[in-house]
């Protein structure tokens, strides 16, 4: 099965100054709610990034952003957490980072 990054830029907001774009990135190593929890917390802390949602079954991270640089920051943060996009190389370091991120997300998950 071939995957791709969905670069769907949809304007949100009443005017150009407050508009946000929405996109989804299909990532690697996303396996469970612990992973999703870590991703949600990390991306929600970024300025100009809103409405973060993680679809574990489709390995998809969706969010709204203000400008293209914000989207690049999200992509970079995901890679650092161990969840590179499907167009990036999935290195042993990425896999190890995702394992740590997943465990951290499970520990920090509120029931």
- Domain contains 50: yes
- Domain contains 29: yes
Q: Which residue would you say has higher pLDDT here, 109 or 73?
A: 73
Residue 2 CA to chain centroid, in angstroms?
Answer: 19
Buried b (16+ CB within 10 A) or exposed e, 79-89: bebbbbbeeee
- Domain contains 1: no
- Domain contains 4: no
Please give the residue range of the domain that contains residue 38. 16-108
Q: Could you report the per-residue pLDDT of 22-64, keeping only the tens digit for each?
A: 999 999 999 999 999 999 999 999 999 999 999 999 999 999 9
């Amino acid at each position: 099965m071939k995957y791709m990054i969905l670069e769907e830029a949809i304007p949100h907001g009443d005017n150009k100054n407050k508009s946000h774009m929405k996109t989804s990135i299909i990532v690697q190593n996303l396996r469970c709610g612990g992973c999703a929890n870590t991703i949600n917390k990390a991306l929600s802390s970024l300025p100009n990034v809103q409405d973060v949602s993680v679809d574990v079954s489709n390995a998809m991270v969706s969010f709204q952003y203000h400008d293209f640089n914000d989207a690049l920051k999200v992509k970079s943060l995901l890679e650092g957490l161990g969840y590179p996009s499907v167009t990036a190389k999935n290195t042993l370091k990425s896999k190890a980072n995702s394992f740590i991120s997943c465990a951290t997300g499970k520990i920090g998950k509120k029931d």
